[in-house]
Structure 1
Amino acid sequence: MNFDQLKDQWNESETSSNEISENMLKVTEARTPIDQIRKKMKHEFFGQLISLLILVIAPKIFHFTKELTTIYILFYGIICGFMAYYFFKFYLFYKHSYDLSLDSRKNLLWFYYEMKLNLELYKALTYIVGFILLAFCAIALFTINSELLNKIFAKVSLTYIAINIIVTILLVGIITELWAKFYYGKYLKQIKKIVDSMDEE
Structure 2
Amino acid sequence: MDFDKIKELMDNENQDDLQLPTSLENLKESQMPIAKIRKTMKGEIAIQLAGIVIFFTYPFLIEMYELPRAVYFIFMFITSLMTLGYLAKMIWFLRRTSSVGQQTKETILNFIHDIKLTMEVYKTGIIAGSLLLPVSVTAIFMGAVKFGEDRFTEWFLLQMSTSTLLLVILGYLLSGVVIYYITVKWADKLYGVHVRKLEEILTQMEEV
Q: Same fold (TM over 0.5)?
A: yes
Name the SS for the 1:190 alignment partner: helix
Structure 2: tracts of 5 or more residues without a match: 144-149
Matches within 5 A, 1:94-105: 94-105=94-105
Distance 1:123 1:26 in 2: 30
Number of residue equivalences? 200
* One-letter amino acid matched to 2:32: T
Shift of 1:28: 0.2
Shift of 1:58: 3.1
Name the SS for the 1:75 alignment partner: helix
- Kept in 1: contact 2:67–2:153 (CA 8 A): no
| Comparing 126-135 and 172-181, the one that deviates more | 126-135
Partner of 1:109: 109
The CA deviation string for residues 17-44 of structure 1, in whole angstroms up to 9 with x for no partner, is: 3222211101101111211112211211
| Comparing 19-28 and 66-75, the one that deviates more | 66-75
Q: Say what the alpha-carbon RMSD is for the aligned residues.
A: 3.2
Name the SS for the 1:98 alignment partner: coil
| Comparing 5-14 and 153-162, the one that deviates more | 153-162
Asked if 1:193 corresponds to 2:200, the answer is yes
Partner of 1:40: 40
Q: Percent identity?
A: 21
TM-score of the two chains, using structure 2 as the length reference = 0.80
Partner of 2:91: 91
The CA deviation string for residues 52-82 of structure 1, in whole angstroms up to 9 with x for no partner, is: 0111113224533445544444333323322
* Bigger relative contact order (CA 8 A; separation at least 6): 1
Partner of 1:166: 173
- Kept in 2: contact 1:33–1:191 (CA 8 A): yes
The CA deviation string for residues 135-184 of structure 1, in whole angstroms up to 9 with x for no partner, is: 55789989x67985599725962221122112112211210121112222
Change (3 A) 1:105 1:138: same
* One-letter amino acid matched to 2:57: I
| Comparing 92-101 and 175-184, the one that deviates more | 92-101
- Kept in 1: contact 2:130–2:180 (CA 8 A): no
Partner of 2:184: 177
